[in-house]
Amino acid sequence: DAAAAHDRVRAAGIPLAQAPPEHWDLCIDALLGIGGSREPHGTMAQWIARIGQRDAPVLSVD
């Protein structure tokens, strides 16, 4: 599950972004998956809005 994956990433010392970067050449969107059933809110909504504001291509993993 997502919490276990998060714990493994943190334990491995992989840095996690706290906010979307200012500039990027490609966005890999793996935020929600296909099972999202409600409106994103909070930080998730901010990330999605930032992705939509950029001209860079988006690769959706889901």
Query: Looking at the domain assignment, is residue 24 inside a domain?
Result: yes
pTM of the model: 0.64
pLDDT at position 54 is 84
Residue 33 Rama label (left phi>0; alpha psi -120 to 50; beta): left
Average pLDDT estimate for 36-53: 87
DSSP symbol at 13? T
Query: Looking at the domain assignment, is residue 25 inside a domain?
Result: yes
Q: What is the pLDDT of residues 25-44, one digit of tens each?
A: 998 888 877 777 888 889 88
Helix (H/G/I), strand (E/B), else coil: 12 = coil
Q: Is the pLDDT of residue 16 over 80?
A: yes
pLDDT at position 7 is 94
Instruction: Domain count for the chain, please give it.
Output: 1
pLDDT at position 25 is 92
> Which residues span the domain enclosing 33?
18-60
**Average pLDDT of every residue of the chain:** 87
Query: Looking at the domain assignment, is residue 48 inside a domain?
Result: yes
Query: Looking at the domain assignment, is residue 50 inside a domain?
Result: yes
